Chain A
Amino acid sequence: MSTIQISHLSKRFGQFPAVSDLSLEVPAGSVYGLLGPNGAGKTTVFKCVLGLSRPSEGEVLYDGDPFTPQTFQDIAYVPERSVLYEWMSVAEHVEMNRRAFARFEPARALELLRQFNIDPRKRARALSKGMRTAVMVALAFARNARFLVLDEPTSGLDPINQRHVLSLIVNEAARGNSVVFSSHQIGQVERAAERIAVIDRGRLVLEGMVDDLKADRKIVEGILPDATSSLDGVAGDPRIARVDRVERIVRLLVLSGSDDIATRLTQAGASGVRVLDLNLEDIFLYAVSPVNAEADAVVSGSTS
């Protein structure tokens, strides 16, 4: 079982709290999506998980154990920015990884590079942004690591190669390994991730199973008799996280029990009441938007 447990992690840079009291667990054999706006603290979380940055408070455990030099062998990392040596060829990077990591499989790396159409004789400086990402992905997935930490692993890739990376990710999970990845392409996280966490300004604002979040969170929309109609008795329901009103139109962000809320909105005199599904992008945007009733209370989806 390859689990990553982050508990009460905080990281401050001087007075600036980059990450505050973050706790989450990446189960074995699972893909975990970490979402957040730019500057939310995702990369800081990754650096703490990788042992590249020392937490100000809290800890990260790997299968229940703290980080040791051996953990480097178990974790593969695709950083957001290229860490390739410009003057070295791709083949030399493969060789360097072979020397550094005990379980690294050069043949597997070369096969992945071939699938990405990358000539190993090329020097890093001759590679485009997408090709650099592909090289780092090929190196990471040849590591036979138990934990994969992927920061924007599809950045710059065309849709075919993006899907290929997603397949590699799913394959790792199917082999029992743990994958944490972040992407601004929410559709990819939505497809491959079982659970997600949304962090905003260093804090966890949402955590749960993607399927449960989609099943529970809905928009209930209706048209009120007039612009001053009262919503008393409906809007105070704790399952309603947010109320948006524009003239006679009212939209409720509902965390659960959407059918019941829809019925009550109809009883309150609203017409045209509809329940609308939310995809992960909508759920993410509501979680990080400024008018956010959940900002202080993490609402967790049910566990499996």
Chain B
Amino acid sequence: MPAVLTVDSRSGVPIYLQIVEQVKRSVALGVLRAGEQLPTVKQLAVDLTINPNTVARAYRDLERDSVIETAPGRGSFVRGDGAVDSARSAAADVARDAFSVALREAKSVGLSRAEVRELVNASIDRWFPEEA
């Protein structure tokens, strides 16, 4: 399990957010399955060489978002109910944010509405080809 997670401490993205996003992504993609146990806070902190409180903060966020649950004394587990849904919707949020940044960039470099629409359509055709 620790091998699934990595952090880039030099990135401008807070480390706890990197963990939250990776766990959500792993759940959405089925790399982490319902009921699967996550490493303890201490274990993950030592494996990634990061502050234990940073890991604890990530786990709190994941609990709040109903992706994991923590049983005192037993550890943290991927939730059976709704973890995948909440992880998917979180993944959609990430995509929406990325989209919004891309469109702001398009606007700031002076593309017209029609040009942006053309770009978007071309991207959709590339990544979501219609099934024949």
Contacts and interface: CB of A to CB of B under 8 A. Distances in A.
Interface of A: 27, 29-31, 163, 166-167, 170-171, 173-174, 187, 190-194, 210-212, 214-215, 218, 222, 262, 266, 270-274, 276-279, 282, 304
Interface of B: 9-17, 41-42, 45-46, 49-54, 57, 104-105, 107-110
Contacts, number: 83
Given A170-B45, A171-B46, A277-B11, 17 more contacts: A30-B51, A30-B52, A30-B53, A163-B49, A166-B49, A167-B49, A170-B49, A173-B52, A174-B46, A174-B52, A191-B49, A210-B14, A262-B104, A266-B107, A271-B109, A273-B108, A279-B12
Question: Looking at A166, A170, A173, A304, which has the most chain B CB atoms within 10 Å of its CB?
Answer: A170
B107 to A, nearest CB: 8
Question: Looking at B9, B41, B46, B105, which has the most chain A CB atoms within 10 Å of its CB?
Answer: B9
A270 B108 CA distance: 8
B53 A29 contact: yes
A27 B45 CA distance: 17
Of all A-B residue pairs in the complex, the 4 with the closest CB atoms, nearest first, are A277-B12, A211-B14, A191-B9, A194-B51
B14 A215 contact: yes
20 contacts: A30-B51, A163-B49, A167-B46, A167-B49, A170-B46, A170-B52, A174-B42, A191-B15, A191-B49, A193-B51, A194-B51, A210-B15, A211-B16, A211-B57, A214-B14, A266-B107, A271-B108, A271-B110, A277-B12, A282-B12
- Dominant secondary structure at the B interface: helix
B53 A170 contact: no
A207 to B, nearest CB: 16
B53 A194 contact: yes
Nearest to B51: A194
A191 B14 CA distance: 10
A277 B13 contact: yes
Contacts of B10: 187, 190, 279
A208 to B, nearest CB: 12
Contacts of A274: 105, 108
A210 B16 CA distance: 10
B127 to A, nearest CB: 24
A266 B110 CA distance: 12
A304 B110 CA distance: 42
A173 B57 CA distance: 15
Given A170-B52, A190-B9, A212 B14 contact: yes
B11 A170 contact: no
B14 A29 contact: no
Given A170-B45, A266-B108, A211 B52 contact: no
Nearest to A163: B49
